[in-house]
Amino acid sequence: MENPHNDFMLSQQDAYSTIRASHSFAGKVLFFFGLALLISAAGTFTGFQYIGALFVENPQLMWLFFAAELILVFTARIWSTRRPLNYFLFGLFAFVTGITIVPLLASIILEFGGPALIIKALGATTLTFSAVAVFGWTTNRDLSGLRGFLTASLIGIIIVSLIGIFLPWSNNFEMIFAGFGTILFSGYAMYDIQRLKTFPPDRYVDAALRLYLDIFNLFLFILRLIAGISRSR
């Protein structure tokens, strides 16, 4: 005859093991996420100190860095579980993104006479990402329904960005575009934070990469939005 007390104890142990595994996974993700931010900052410093002048002399060099970014992103599911290759490529991606943001940061500094707007954007990004991350982690709502909207919006933003390379737009449209991008990647951050609860245990690098892309793009759009607002004054 089965003992109800034993069944209860087993179920409690299973629940505890699940929670402990979830926290362990989240801890790994946050570690690599924080590491990516530090490596990205090192890439930005390197870009300003040593590579920025090369971008001015050889603008096509910047496209090589962008191409490297895209290749690493689209192949991430292949290498994200292959240690130690995943650690190297993850760090390389963060470093490269730190370098590729240098032209935008430099143009903002030159246009507005200093880094004040960048500091404001960093603060706004930190607050926004923290708020949506807490909501995504604690809400009882299933955010998986956002996937279709987020994917379609991302495709739309990529298409509009490509058009903008050849057909520059007004500052008013820039503010609308940047505002929509801010909303989009806030949504992605909520969605990806909630997905941490269901990610396979061996894909912590992949999960950290997604969160890094969320906050990186969120910062870019918030910076562009603040710059657009400043121009309109």
Alpha carbons 214 and 196: distance in angstroms, whole number:
14
Per-residue tens of pLDDT for the chain, all 233 residues: 545 555 544 444 444 444 455 568 888 999 999 999 999 999 999 999 888 777 777 777 888 888 999 899 989 888 988 889 999 999 999 999 999 999 899 999 999 988 999 999 999 999 999 999 999 999 999 998 999 999 999 999 999 998 888 888 899 999 999 999 999 999 999 999 999 988 888 889 999 999 999 999 999 999 999 999 999 88
Which residue range(s) make up the domain with 163?
Answer: 4-232
> 65: which residues sit within 8 A by CB, 6+ positions away?
96, 99, 100
Asked whether 184 and 161 are in contact (CB, 8 A), the reply is: no
**Buried/exposed code over 113-122 (b: 16+ C-beta within 10 A; e: otherwise):** eeeebbeebe
Beta carbons within 10 angstroms of residue 97's beta carbon = 25
Evaluate if pTM is beyond 0.75. yes
Alpha carbons 138 and 29: distance in angstroms, whole number:
17
Could you give the number of structural domains in the chain? 1
